[in-house]
Structure 1
């Protein structure tokens, strides 16, 4: 009798575990290349996806080296979401070595992209050198082409090569395109849950719009001629375009480049010439040179900006929305 009573008591738990396992088996396996993109994907996919993010919080996707376990994760994925614009230079080889056969999308497809800084920064205002005239927001998100897996370059009249700046997520306008592309891709793979992905997209777009308005209001109190800062690498051109903040950088669009003594001297000259009040460190960069510039000038370290990665939960930028608000608030407080 006791035997049957024990079975009866355990039965609800066994049924519950079976239900959980069945739900997990029905989820889409999705791989995102880095933490910011992972968060955006999670906002749209919700509990319908099993998400793996390759480059985690505070990780540098510029210099990432895939691990053996990444091959297994990618091989098993239904969908791989990458930024594109040449950002993940290590990803094409990973896709090839894993024999990936699922769907791949570049979340940045259709955004209005900017030309990046020279590979060796000339320390000018990070102004818009090139911008597509139109945003093709209706471009098909399920493209399987490889055009976004390679660096996009062109040479100017002086023979310098300029890349397309891949840091497009620093524009909320662009992230709305990212989210729409992800929603569309998930809907193609999982048509039974189209309404779910569309609902999540609408909710997320509203949050993005609210934050965009909040950031514009925050900067309205800062005269535009005061909106000048120094950062370690050239990652904030899209933020500059949207909120008219001029960023001077030690490095180009990739953290792989190294600043020389001449580069440091040039930035110090820019600080003095343009009366720049604030320098910032980043969560993914070696910040010793920024601290040296602050020591050699009157510019104060205004805090830490999160450029290419989310923070850990206790650092205030563990989601894309938190990252953008944290960066904007840090900049405004330093520029007052």
Structure 2
């Protein structure tokens, strides 16, 4: 009996290994440009999608410079999810160098962009139109020949223009209503890449969209309870404009929309004077920026450090904001704790 059982177990083990290998090979291979977007893709894709990210948790996409390993990662992907709105200034260079020939899905397609006031580093508010829930197709194919991804030396030099966003604010995910647009575009991009998974992607997206909508209501409820006079804050760089527009906060930043920009001494002095004159209660650090400048501003202005907010990246799995939804929960908790007292 034992002699017959061993071959049977070996055959079963071999069959299981082949099955597991086949299942892994059948998965959609997706790459997301940064950690927040990767988390969204994981929620929609579920078990049918393997998701890799280029800029990981606590990483700064503004300062990111792709490596040959990143090119190799993208070269093997079926679909590439990017934010758009000028956020990934390095994207086209990486696509060309990697030889990527899959589909690129721009998650922000359909978002009404927020325009920057370049002279003052502030913003021009945009009206939320009736088409806020609508979206256009975010997918386009990149055809034609590409340079071999081994030939990378000239393509991975840092260029300042890679981090310049023009007059568009790319941080659209900071409004959960925009996050819902991202999810719809991700769903449609995955269905285009894997039509057999349509029902799964739709079900996952519906569940995720319901969670985003519930969190949107919770954020509005929490922040509407703050006194109007305490709804003005300072953050490291101008990443929370969509958040401020959506949830009723006025947010000032000594840096512009990119962390690659350097505020002048005059800009810092202006911020300090404004904090004193307007009695702005708190300044908030960000997980992707150097704290020294804001610590100086807080010390010289008398404002308190209200805590750390997550802007362009989620935390690692052991941190306070390991997912997109957790990021909002953490940020709102930090804001309300600092501004309520």
TM-score, normalized by the shorter chain, greater than 0.5? yes
Partner of 1:60: 60
Q: Is the 8 A contact 2:135 2:181 kept in 1?
A: no
CA-CA distance at 1:131 after TM superposition: 5.5
How far apart, CA to CA, are the structure 1 residues paired with 2:14 and 2:273?
A: 69
Q: Is the 8 A contact 1:312 1:318 kept in 2?
A: yes
Q: Is the 8 A contact 1:172 1:212 kept in 2?
A: yes
Partner of 1:72: 72
Query: Is the counterpart of residue 142 in structure 1 residue 146 in structure 2?
Result: no
CA-CA distance at 1:184 after TM superposition: 0.6
String of CA shifts for 1:267-290, please: whole Å, max 9, x gaps: 101110110111111110011010
How far apart, CA to CA, are the structure 2 residues paired with 1:286 and 1:296?
A: 17
Query: Is the counterpart of residue 208 in structure 1 residue 208 in structure 2?
Result: no
Query: Is the counterpart of residue 299 in structure 1 residue 303 in structure 2?
Result: yes
User: Structure 1: which 5+ residue stretches go unaligned?
Assistant: 154-161
TM, length-normalised to structure 2: 0.89
The number of residue pairs the alignment matches comes to 322
Partner of 2:30: 30
CA-CA distance at 1:114 after TM superposition: 0.2
Q: Is the 8 A contact 1:284 1:309 kept in 2?
A: yes
Aligned with 2:29: secondary structure? Answer: strand
User: Structure 2: which 5+ residue stretches go unaligned?
Assistant: 144-160
How far apart, CA to CA, are the structure 1 residues paired with 2:13 and 2:116?
A: 56
Query: Is the counterpart of residue 128 in structure 1 residue 132 in structure 2?
Result: no
After superposing on structure 2, the runs of 4+ consecutive aligned residues of structure 1 that deviate more than 4 Å are: 1-5, 129-134, 149-153
CA-CA distance at 1:100 after TM superposition: 1.4
Partner of 1:45: 45
Q: Is the 8 A contact 1:234 1:251 kept in 2?
A: yes
Q: Is the 8 A contact 1:152 1:164 kept in 2?
A: no
Partner of 1:156: none
| Correspondence list, 1:147-186, <5 A | 163-186=167-190
Q: Is the 8 A contact 2:62 2:260 kept in 1?
A: yes
Partner of 1:236: 240
Q: Is the 8 A contact 1:85 1:151 kept in 2?
A: no
Partner of 2:19: 19
CA-CA distance at 1:293 after TM superposition: 1.0
How far apart, CA to CA, are the structure 1 residues paired with 2:58 and 2:311?
A: 9
Q: Is the 8 A contact 2:255 2:262 kept in 1?
A: yes
The root-mean-square deviation of aligned C-alpha atoms, in Å, is 2.2
CA-CA distance at 1:130 after TM superposition: 4.7
How far apart, CA to CA, are the structure 1 residues paired with 2:326 and 2:133?
A: 27
Q: Is the 8 A contact 1:117 1:252 kept in 2?
A: no
How far apart, CA to CA, are the structure 2 residues paired with 1:26 and 1:313?
A: 27
String of CA shifts for 1:52-109, please: whole Å, max 9, x gaps: 1010000000110111111111111110000000000011100011121111111000
CA-CA distance at 1:5 after TM superposition: 4.2
CA-CA distance at 1:257 after TM superposition: 0.3
How far apart, CA to CA, are the structure 2 residues paired with 1:13 and 1:163?
A: 58
CA-CA distance at 1:8 after TM superposition: 2.8
Query: Using a 3 Å threshold, how does the CA distance of structure 1 residues 227 and 59 change in structure 2: closer, same or farther?
Result: same
CA-CA distance at 1:16 after TM superposition: 2.1
Q: In structure 2, which of residues 288, 293, 298 is the aligned counterpart of residue 289 of structure 1?
A: 293
Partner of 1:315: 319
